[in-house]
Each structure stands twice: as C-alpha cells, then as structure tokens.
Structure 1
Amino acid sequence: MSSVLVQKVWSTLWSAGSISRFRLHVSHVSHQVNHVASEEQRIYDEPYVIFQNWLIAAQREAPQVRPRLACMATVDKSGEPVTRLTSIEEVSANGITFFTTLGSRQAGEISANPHVSLHFNWAPLMRSVRIAGSAHQLTEEQALDQFRRYPRHVQMCITHGPRYAAADWQSRSGLFARIVQRLNTWLGKHPEEIQMPPNWGGYLLTPSLFEFGMLSGQKAGRTRVRFRRCLEMPRGTRVGNIQAERQDWVYDSCEEN
C-alpha cells in the first residue's frame, strides 16, 4: 500500500476515533524505521471495532433512524437476491448476531446458502457500512439467553404476535394494574415467565468484508474504506510476512465523485 493511500485511510477514519495507534504504523511503513516498535504500539483496531464505534455514535447522534436496523441480503434457491430489514443484536470479535423465526423464509435461505450481507445507512451522519460474510445458526442456549434479555413486551410479541403484545401492554399499563404489580413486587411475587417459542433462534454472521462509506459534504465525493479478510494465511501468521500487522485483514481506500 502506498504511503499516500495509507494517509487517506488514516485521515478518513481517525475522525471517528476508530484506528487507535495507526499513525505509528504509518510512520513505520513509510519511513522503514530501523528499530522495531513493540507489538502493542504497532497494533491497530480491527474493522469490527471501527463498526462498534460508528454504531455507538449513530445511536447517540441519530437514534431516530434505528441504527441497529440493517438491510439484509440473502440468496434464494433460484440464485436471486432477496432483501429485508433485520435488527442486529451483539457485535464482537466473533461476528454479528441477529435473531429470527427459524421457519421463516429468511432462515430457510440462510440454511441453503449461508452467504449474507448487511447494509447500514445512517443518512443524518452521512455514513454507511456494508458487511458481508457467512451466517451460521446459534445454539438453543444462546438463543434462550438473548430471549431472556428482551423486555416482556418484546417476548410477548415474539411468542404471541404484536396484537397480543399490545393488548398485554395495555392491560398492564393502567392504574389498577400498576398497583397490583407494586403489591406483587412487595410480596415477592414475580410475573409468570414467558417461554421461548421452539422455532425462535439466532445466527452469527462471520464477516469477510467491511466497507465504510462517508460523505464529507453535499458537493464532496464519497470515500470508501474497505477491509477484506485474508484467507490465504491462517489468522496470526501474517506478521513478518507482509506489512499488515497481526490482523488478517487487507485494506484499501477509494474516492468517488
């Protein structure tokens, strides 16, 4: 990667506070410093960390766009792309989790073809993120753990549908219902636990591509920074072979007018 391109990647992403020690790495690559910096000094954040930071910023600055809602693309049996809106849950080094009804069309397409992509569009921030990879079903224990984290009205919606959940919410939001709830709490009585439906489950998307898009103004061009997972080498073996540090990602940047 040229020093000019490295500088573009740095200037583009540093405003989000995402690549924490990138400047030292750039200096090391551009000027080929003779002394070897410590491994801790040379490590930069992986793309999922950049995505986490952008997601946090979007939730803080533009919650009205529902930042966790993504356009998911799958492939049907005839090879045609299919899109729908999906809400994600956890973002970690392992991947991105989302949940759905296992008997749904979405689940069937993922089971037949695990290649999936997500597209997040945060227009007020002039940012977008595209993530592509393979999705694999989570265990029943993992799905149950997430189900227990949902508020009661969300559990009711998953189990019985939105109309039943709305009726249950209204029945519990009245003055008399709140008094009964206070008394039950004081007496140590808890609401009946809602059982997770047997057809409810989740998936883990393991990314192979992150693409970050940014607009700096109405007349400015669009900048894209793309991270692709390097599959030729096992994770952790790249140091000493090419100038890409410990992470198994290769990255580039481009500008579109």
Structure 2
Amino acid sequence: MIDLGAIRKQYTQGRLDEHTAASDPMTQFHAWFEQYRSTSPLEPTIMTLASVDESGQPWQRVVLLKAYDGEGFIFYTNYESHKGYQLAANPHASLHFFWINLERQVQVQGVVEKLSRAEAEAYFHSRPRESQLGAWASAQSRPLADRAELEARFAEVSARYDGQDVPLPEYWGGYRLRPARMEFWQGGEHRLHDRLEYRRQGQGEWLKQRLNP
C-alpha cells in the first residue's frame, strides 16, 4: 500500500459568505470563473462531466466548457460516443470544476438538452479545420485496431474535403446542461470549508443555503 496520509495542505485562500454571495448561482459562477481565468491557468475551460449508463454505473470524463449563460453550461461532443448514448437514455448529468490555485470547487447537477443544429453548425465551423476533420475520422468510443487505422481515416477525410468546407456530421453537436442545483466550495483552515448550495425553486428562483463542510 502506498500511504498518502501524511500529504496535507491548509487551505487559506479565502472565504465564501452566504450573505455576500450572489442570489443567482450563474452570477456567482461568472464572478468566480473570471477570477480563476485571471490567474492564467493552462486550460480554464476544463470541467468533469458525469453521466450514468443503463446499468446505473456512473462515468466521468474531462470535457471543455464552450459557453455559459443564464440558462446553463454548453459543451460539444459526438452523439454516438459513450456519453452521447448515456445522455440520450438518461439526460440527468453533473459537472465539476476544480480550481486548485484558488482552493475552489463548483459542482452542478441538472438535465441536458441538445442544442439546435444551427448552434452546432456555428460552433463546428469556428473550430480549427483539423479538429473538424477529426470529428469525421474518429468513431468516438468504438474499438480501434491501432493508431495507424485512425491516421489513415484522417488522411482519407482530409483528401475527401480538400479545397472545400468540412460539413458538420449528423452525429456531432452540442448540449446545454440546465442546472437544478449548484454548489460552491471554498477551502478553509482546519478543514472548516465554506460550502454554499443553490437549489432551483421555480422559474428563475433559487434557494441559497450554507452547508456543513
């Protein structure tokens, strides 16, 4: 056994007060995200997406947040991937942001919905051309014989669309996760962390309360 119990860190970066936090969690998220982004992290849009398969087994993977607004969080993927099939069968999902340099976490629970084809088109064509071609070359989550097979498919689609726009695949698009619950966590000394929970009560209404750490 590799014993890691002696690795300890005190969290002293700040506090989170339920009296001064925003009444709307997306407003609070925006404030925290902008503070995090100002620290120049390597990849500020990283988040963990959790979904559940047909047997009830949770899955997690890191994806990239591509936009957010008052309605929720937007990301893009292959609809025929593991997560695509899982979200089609059970649209309840969770997001997690971990910003260690600020000693903060944000978790989000809610329901996903597909974005419109027009929204997917607009984002797809903003991507680098090589990423567009990669969406055609990769049958995401399916077995692959070896790296050479993937590279051969990439070469084939590169030749197929040489000199023309790369179309959006039918199986590729975006989701918006509409939050029903959000929790903000600020590390505190002696493990007395600050946890603030928002639960949706109605259209545009949120109950905000402090939780024990």
Alignment pair present for 1:47 and 2:25: yes
C-alpha contact (below 8 Å) 1:119/1:128 kept by paired residues: yes
Q: Which has the higher contact order (CA 8 A, sep 6+)?
A: 2
Identity score, percent: 27
Alignment pair present for 1:130 and 2:87: no
C-alpha contact (below 8 Å) 1:110/1:135 kept by paired residues: yes
Cα deviation 1:138-159 (Å, max 9, x = unaligned) = 2211111111222333323333
Question: Once the 2 structures are TM-superposed, how far is the Cα of residue 201 of structure 1 from its aligned partner?
Answer: 1.1
Q: Secondary structure at the match of 1:149?
A: coil
- The 1:57–1:153 alpha-carbon spacing in structure 2 relative to 1, beyond 3 Å, is farther
**Higher Cα Rg: structure 1 or 2?**
1
1:139 corresponds in structure 2 to 116
Q: Secondary structure at the match of 1:228?
A: strand
Q: In the aligned structure 1, how far is the partner of 2:101 from the partner of 2:134?
A: 30
Query: Which consecutive unaligned segments of at least 5 residues does structure 2 have?
Result: 1-15, 139-149, 156-162
Question: Once the 2 structures are TM-superposed, how far is the Cα of residue 52 of structure 1 from its aligned partner?
Answer: 1.7
Q: Where do residues 143-158 of structure 1 align in structure 2 (5 Å cutoff)?
A: 143-158=120-135
Of Structure 1 and Structure 2, the greater helix share is in 1
Q: Where do residues 1-257 of structure 1 align in structure 2 (5 Å cutoff)?
A: 8-11=17-20, 13=21, 19=22, 44=23, 46-64=24-42, 66-160=43-137, 192-217=164-189, 219=190, 221-231=192-202, 235=203, 247-256=204-213
Q: CA RMSD in A?
A: 2.4
Query: Which consecutive unaligned segments of at least 5 residues does structure 1 have?
Result: 1-6, 14-18, 20-43, 168-190, 236-246
Question: Once the 2 structures are TM-superposed, how far is the Cα of residue 213 of structure 1 from its aligned partner?
Answer: 0.4
Q: In the aligned structure 1, how far is the partner of 2:115 from the partner of 2:48?
A: 21
C-alpha contact (below 8 Å) 1:55/1:68 kept by paired residues: no
Of Structure 1 and Structure 2, the greater strand share is in 2
Cα deviation 1:108-130 (Å, max 9, x = unaligned) = 01010010000110111101100
Q: In the aligned structure 1, how far is the partner of 2:164 from the partner of 2:26?
A: 38
TM-score (norm 2): 0.75
Q: Secondary structure at the match of 1:197?
A: coil
Q: In the aligned structure 2, how far is the partner of 1:149 from the partner of 1:54?
A: 26
Counting matched residue pairs gives: 180
- The 1:155–1:57 alpha-carbon spacing in structure 2 relative to 1, beyond 3 Å, is farther
- The 1:163–1:87 alpha-carbon spacing in structure 2 relative to 1, beyond 3 Å, is farther
Amino acid of the structure 2 residue aligned with 1:228: R
Q: Secondary structure at the match of 2:19?
A: helix
Amino acid of the structure 2 residue aligned with 1:213: W
Q: In the aligned structure 2, how far is the partner of 1:225 from the partner of 1:62?
A: 25
Cα deviation 1:138-191 (Å, max 9, x = unaligned) = 221111111122233332333335858x99xxxxxxxxxxxxxxxxxxxxxxx6
Amino acid of the structure 2 residue aligned with 1:223: D
Q: In the aligned structure 2, how far is the partner of 1:230 from the partner of 1:111?
A: 25
Divergent runs of 4+, >4 A: 161-164
